[in-house]
Amino acid sequence: MFGIWKLGFGTSRHRHIKIKGIELVAMPIEVTPARERYGLLLTALAPVVPQILGSAFNIWYNATVVEPLLTPALKQRFFETVLLYNSVIYPVGVVLWLRRIFSLRNLFHRLCEGSAIDSESLTQARRRLIHLPWFAAAICGVAWFLCIPVFVGALFQVQHPLDPRLLWHLPISFCVSGFIAVTHSFFLVELASHWGLFPVFFRDARADRTPNIFTLSLRGRGIMWAVSASICPIASLLLLIFAPRSPAINAGWFAVFVGGIGIAFGIFTALMMSWLVAKPIDQLRAAADAVSHGDLDVDLGPAGAGRADEFGRLLSEFDHMVRELRDKEKLRQTFGLHVGKRAAERILARDPGLSGVEEEITVMFVDMRSWTARASVSAPADVVEVMNDFFRVTVRVVEEEHRGMVNKYLGDGFMAIFGAGDSGSNHAHDAVAAGREILSAVKKLNYELEAKRRAPIQIGIGIHSGPAIVGSVGSPQRLE
């Protein structure tokens, strides 16, 4: 039946970033052929293995412990109930499960093809997908735990005395088998859907922001793991200690068998938990380590988008934080190009409010003499080239060599400030030294202009020291 499904995704190209052995995968553009072929099928078959394992334990327990306690009449009724119950409950469970899987199939293929889907239908499908592990666990739980009243009730219908030890061993058998099947069905369906379905349904959305969802928390996962891997095997041993002894039980071998089951399921569950829990923690650790070393190119968006639990929110919010840091760094770099790197760092380090602080500073004004008349008779390209050459040599002198900062350009000149936010500097001396070096730099520039057969420039420099209000002025929306 599954062979006729078109199960899949397409092809995939990922951007991989490796940081100290941890691979961070950027947002996928497409999806892999393996997921296209096996995504839905793997999710549909995920509950099968836990049911087989639970049934194997149940069959062994019943054959070893329960069957010797049954009279021929009770044994006949027991096996009749097994056949009748399984012939009813298995088809019902399979139909319910496949209906839920098929409810996702149409949208799955439309998303793979890139077709438009209305938001309401997509939201409902995403919600069903997130709740898929719960749905599988509910079907398994009802099927297994309903066995207790059904089988006990069926045995009571036989007009033969019922061994009271059966009232212990039958519930133990179904409870342990049921917990094994339910917990592992939940984890396997979650793993399969995360691998095969989430990348399609949440390609451009965050799973944790789907409305009206209920996900298993990290604490809940720990409890479920404890129930499956340790509580069930240990509880079965304890119950058998207090339960009336079945004549077929060899306590030593039974303890070894149950202990082996506990170890096997503990390892298996730990592997699943490592994928569901340890992997996002490793990704987050690697990303945090990269950011701490100044690398803001990490991308945890896809990892967070594919999780509906706390990890999804944690990874997505971390990725949002990195994007904001990236934007701020870009703003800082762009801002520095306009006001100078030193000025930008000082301004960004100060309170951006409208209040100011009175400080003792030195202000320098530099402009080119008779520039307006010269510009009116020169080609625009020549005017811009000379101005850029002038600002190139003078701004370097102010900001890189004499600890000043160019506050603003004033047409053919600029205003520079010395000592703002740096009370320990000899700002007046720095300004005078900068002025003298500017004169020398302009003299060298004039030699270059004369070599290009252009007229030299003349400048004027004004310097004044005194108290001033240093801060930002303007409106809350735009400051200067």
Q: What is the mean pLDDT of residues 150-166?
A: 87
402/467 Cα distance (integer angstroms): 20
pLDDT category at 221 given cuts 50, 70, 90 is: confident
412/52 Cα distance (integer angstroms): 85
List, for residues 299-310, the tens digit of each pLDDT value.
765 554 556 666
pLDDT category at 192 given cuts 50, 70, 90 is: confident
List, for residues 44-55, the tens digit of each pLDDT value.
999 998 898 888
Backbone angles phi, psi at 303, to 5 degrees: -65, -40
Q: Enumerate residues 6+ apart whose C-beta is below 8 A from 396.
A: none
Residue 134 pLDDT > 80: yes
Mean pLDDT, the chain, as a whole number?
A: 78
In 10 A of CB 97, how many CB atoms? 21
Which CA distances in Å does 38 have to 27, 46, 97, 302, 376?
21, 12, 17, 20, 74
pLDDT category at 320 given cuts 50, 70, 90 is: confident
User: What DSSP assignment string belongs to 234-259?
Assistant: HHHHHHHHHSPPPTT--HHHHHHHHH
pLDDT at 28: 40
Q: What are residue 414's DSSP bridge partners?
A: 366, 409
Q: Where are the domains of the chain?
A: 2-292, 356-479
> What is the fold of 356-479?
Alpha-Beta Plaits (3.30.70)
pLDDT category at 434 given cuts 50, 70, 90 is: very high
* Segment 278-285 long-range contacts (CB within 8 Å, at least 24 positions apart): 280/307, 280/311, 280/314, 280/315, 281/311, 282/22, 283/22, 283/24, 283/315, 284/314, 284/315, 284/318, 285/22
Residue 386 pLDDT > 60: yes
Tell if the pTM clears 0.95, that is, is over it.
no
